[in-house]
Amino acid sequence: MVEVCNTIKYLAMENQILKELKRVEEVNNVELLFAVESGSRAWGFESPDSDYDVRFVYRRGCEAYLSLWDSKDTIEFMTEDNLDGSGWDFKKATLLLSKSNASFLGWLFSPIVYIERGDVLRNMKKLAIENFNPVSGFYHYQSMNKGFYQGLKENDMDIKSFFYTARTALCANWILKFGSIPPVRFKELYALIDQESMQLFDTLMDKKATIKEKDKCEIDLRLVEVIHQIVTENNNLKDVVETRKANYKEFDRFFLNELL
């Protein structure tokens, strides 16, 4: 019965999201190329009060990209029902992709897709994989992890922050070990930990699904030690992370093909 209610609630929210995205197109006179879910719902460890973090890429008319003058390249909205929307112009998104921007890579590979038009999303994923710069991704997650890790050491961390700590540490470690884009789904990062830790994380994830994001609960010290070891390994081996350069001609071709 609980699963049925959750499904009904999700479908109603998805319908609301699609209506809001249609309004964004009409009000701003743009075309949405794709729209996805980001954040904890995409990662697979949302709480009952987690926002819906909708992220999208939009395209303006071709003439807008020929102007001498820069114009606004983001669209944002917030509704009263926990719907947080943010989108980037196609040019901005492509430039950030060429830099292996970790936040944008999270959008591209989100398992929850609300809108997908044409081949833009598929082609961007291909560019992302072929041009990924491990150093860029590693230091993004490593820098995010420092603040979270301080709270972990002080044993003053809510459950949301602990999962963010764990995810950023594991994503950095994934790049360190495999040199590729880390998966969006948290459970796919389990390849980096042992069976006991997987079970402990599953138990904690089940707990998170029943309490508010800012609630605090006891974190098993074995999990704390696992994350501590991963952060230590990341710090000790950060200098061996590979640097790769993007093929900018490929990005030019992609951008022009989608505009013309």
- Averaged pLDDT, 204-212: 92
Residue 220 has what DSSP assignment? P
Burial of 77 (0-12, 13-18, 19+ CB in 10 A): middle
Which is it for strands 74-78 and 52-59: parallel, antiparallel or unpaired?
Answer: unpaired
Mean pLDDT of the chain: 91
Give the full edge-to-edge strand order of the sheet including 31-38: 74-78, 83-89, 52-59, 31-38, 113-116
Q: Could you report the per-residue pLDDT of 128-162, keeping only the tens digit for each?
A: 999 999 999 999 999 887 766 666 665 567 888 88
What φ, ψ does residue 55 adopt, rounded to 5°? -125, 140
pLDDT of the residue at 1 = 45
Question: Rounded to an integer, what distance in angstroms lies between the CA atom of residue 239 and that of residue 218?
Answer: 34
**Highest mean pLDDT of the ranges 8-12, 51-55, 64-68, 70-74:** 51-55
- Which pLDDT belongs to residue 8? 55
CA–CA–CA angle 78, 81, 85 (5° rounding):
30
With CA atoms as reference, report the closest residue to 168 among 189, 191, 196.
Answer: 189
Mean pLDDT along residues 174-197: 97
Helix (H, G, I), strand (E, B) or coil at 35: strand
Mean pLDDT score, 74-80: 91
Closest CA to 151 of 139, 166, 161: 161
Task: For residues 260 and 140, give the distance between their C-alpha atoms in angstroms, rounded to a whole number.
Answer: 34
Q: For 94-106, what is the mean pLDDT?
A: 97
Q: Taking residues 86-93, what's their average pLDDT? A: 97
Please give the Cα distance from 133 to 237 (Å, whole number): 17
Which one has a higher pLDDT value, 126 or 80? Answer: 126
Q: Which of 6-15, 18-27, 147-156, 157-166 is most confident?
A: 18-27
Q: What is the pLDDT of residue 2?
A: 39
CA distances from 151 to 139, 145, 147 (A): 19, 10, 7
Per cent of the chain over pLDDT 70 is: 92
How far is Cα 20 from Cα 28, in angstroms, rounded to an integer? 12
pLDDT given for residue 227 in this prediction:
92
173-178 mean pLDDT:
98
For residue 4, is pLDDT > 60?
Answer: no
pLDDT digits over 38-50, tens only? 999 999 999 998 9
Q: Which two tokens stand for residue 117?
A: 């038009």
Phi/psi-derived region of residue 58, left when phi > 0, alpha when psi is between -120 and 50, beta in every other case: beta
Residue 34: pLDDT band (50, 70, 90) is very high
- What is the DSSP secondary structure assignment for residue 73, as one 8-state letter? -
Q: Is the pLDDT of residue 250 over 80?
A: yes
Q: CB pairs under 8 A, 24+ apart, for 94-98?
A: 94/124, 94/251, 94/254, 94/255, 97/124, 97/127, 97/128, 97/131, 97/251, 98/131, 98/246, 98/248, 98/251
